[in-house]
Structure 1
């Protein structure tokens, strides 16, 4: 099969790797409009289940990614100056530089015979008329998808809160949250390490807080200076690093959740963010993109007809993606309604933060939900101890330290 992948992100690169591993005779080219080594974003997060899946599909790239990752197994939560909590989880989390991950996947793809053409923009699948399959992995703003938006049934829902994706030289050894109250409302960030030198820091607030603090008219330098002051307690004097747009303004956004009625048209198929996006607060975007790649490769090699394979990929993958998008929607709404939870005692507040994927939580008074949650988890813990003769699996502990 002659395959053209448009976009050089994780979805396209991993798809090309898995296709070559299944059948080295495939003729695959990845087209990326940007120069080699240039990418947006800072760190990528993933969890134990993703690490295990990577080792199961391509151990070589999985080892390289693991060696370049940093790990954490706990969260630290700061709520103003009231409380700091340490939250321990049984699952390990990992961070890796997005640039490093793309470099590893590109090198692995090339070693298997995949051609990668940088600084080559494809705006029409007609430019790839000799390809048996065209994979649109060109992101949420996919040019190929937008050419046929009516066919794909593309819909976008814009989130209420504003956010900015930053880097910092402060290396966090735990996934760290900080909620700070200002004269104009609450603002918060979540930070995680992705190398020995840098961490990602995502800052979010309501539109009222954003305007009240003057971010709507501040340039990037002034925005970063104010954010460094607001989050001084966790940054320990380290700077925040931004990504300016063309006019020098800070790159504040409203998250856009994207869905499509169908994911394929003729020999064109959508992959990763071109097919769907999930709110960053659940950290699932890259994992879903890699999962898409694996599902599509399986369908292509187990079905004898291309259209049957693309239909199977969409049918089988959609259920997983819709579940993730539902969780992400509830997670985003939890932050949009932060005022509902922030005045609870901090252990209760963060326990409900952990429950933010629940479709029931927005409709039950928070304190009542917390009491029910404690009762249910207590019963589950008791059953676990009885079923294992006193031995239980990893437990979460919330420890108030201030």
Structure 2
């Protein structure tokens, strides 16, 4: 096959690797409009299950990613001047730039052409048997056929900003700080032995009340450093270089599509779907998309059949996670409901924020029930069943409203 991948993110690069492993005669080019080494974000997170999957399909890539990752197995939450620590499953972090370097190196070693500073426009697509739109949430290829794909984008209420810091956190760290204009909080995790990611989030009222929407980047970072000095230990925050000097506060966009393929064009990664950053699954889902699409193409000789199988499988896989992400985002949007609980209870419910039951049960009652019955497999099965059911109901209502 001749394959053109538009966008040089993890999904496109890993898909190109897997297709070359399947058949070295595939003619594959990955086009990235930005220069090599320029990428948004700082570090990405993943769990051991992803590394196990990578080992199954491409041990060499898994070895390289694992060798450049750091790990932790505990979380700590700071609420005002109180703290609580809870153990957890082992999690991993790796710099996004380093991850892209490793994937690009591996792809090139297998014969993939990776072309930087080469933008592919929707009106000027090269001839190929398969065109992969891995060009992110703002995908130009998807936008060109938005009506066909049935694209829907929902903006989250809270504002957030991705930052870096030279403070190296030993655990996944939360910090909730109260201001005269409401609560503001940070999630922080290391992605190397020199740097960490720090994501700050707050309500729109807190953003404007503190003036963060009006401050230039140096003044905005200085204010955030003061607010989170308890976890930064004197380390500075690092923003993204922007020509106009403004900080990049965003509202998360939850993106879904009715269908993921159109002729020989298929959506991959954030071009197809997004899940709220608070569940830390974006990169994992992109790589899993790549694995599923490559497997479908290997299993089904007809491209159209393969793309339909890929879409069915990934939509099914994503249903539970999309429900979890939606409830996770809503937990933070309704922080006031939980923040005055004792820190250990608040942190326990923070860990339960994916639950579809939590918004409907008084927090202290949920905490007591979860402590009493959280380890019962029957309850776990019920919660796993109920999440997708509520997600389907919500999607049906949304479609009915649009119609």
TM-score clears 0.5: yes
Aligned counterpart, 1:85: 84
- Residue 203 (1) aligns with residue 179 (2): no
TM-score, structure 1 as length reference: 0.92
Does the residue aligned with 2:332 lie in a helix, a strand or coil?
Answer: helix
Whether 2:101 is the aligned partner of 1:111: answer: no
Alpha-carbon displacement from aligned partner over 1:91-149 (angstroms, at most 9, x marks no partner): 21111000000000000000000001110001116421x20000000000000000000
The question of 1:100 aligning with 2:98 is answered yes
Counterpart position of 2:191 = 194
Which residue of the other structure, out of 249, 252, 257, is the alignment partner of 1:252?
Answer: 249
Distance 1:59 1:125, change over 3 A: farther
Q: CA RMSD in A?
A: 1.2
SS of residue matched to 1:72: strand
SS in 2 for 1:19: helix
Q: Deviations over 1:367-400 (max 9, x none)?
A: 111111111036569xxxxxxxxxxxxxxxxxxx
Query: Secondary structure at 1:177's aligned position in 2?
Result: strand
Candidates 315, 318, 322, aligned match of 2:315: 318
Provide the residue aligned with 2:39 in structure 1: 39
The 1:218/1:149 distance shift into structure 2, 3 A limit, reads same
Provide the residue aligned with 2:56 in structure 1: 56
Q: Residue by residue, what CA displacement relative to the aligned partner does 1:21-62 show, whole Å, maximum 9, x if unpaired?
A: 111111100000011111111001011111111111111111
Measure the CA separation in 1 of the matches of 2:367 and 2:87. 19
Moved more, 266-275 or 364-373: 364-373
The answer to whether the Cα contact below 8 Å between 1:220 and 1:244 also exists between their aligned partners in 2 is no
The equivalent of 2:4 in structure 1 is: 4
Other-structure match for 2:169: 172
Query: Size of the alignment, in residue pairs?
Result: 378
In 2, Cα distance between equivalents of 1:7 and 1:264: 16
What is the aligned partner in structure 2 of residue 394 from structure 1?
none
Unaligned ranges ≥5, structure 1: 382-402
- How far, CA to CA, are the matches of 1:115 and 1:371 in structure 2? 56
Match for residue 277 of structure 1 among 274, 278, 285? 274
CA distance in 1, matches of 2:345, 2:73: 21
User: Of the candidates 202, 209, 213, which is equivalent to residue 212 of structure 1?
Assistant: 209
Answer yes or no: is 1:72 the counterpart of 2:72: yes
**Partner SS state of residue 104, structure 1:** helix
CA–CA distance in structure 2, aligned partners of residues 378 and 121 of structure 1: 51
Q: CA contact under 8 A between 1:167 and 1:241: conserved in structure 2?
A: yes
Answering whether residue 284 of structure 2 is matched by residue 287 of structure 1, we say: yes
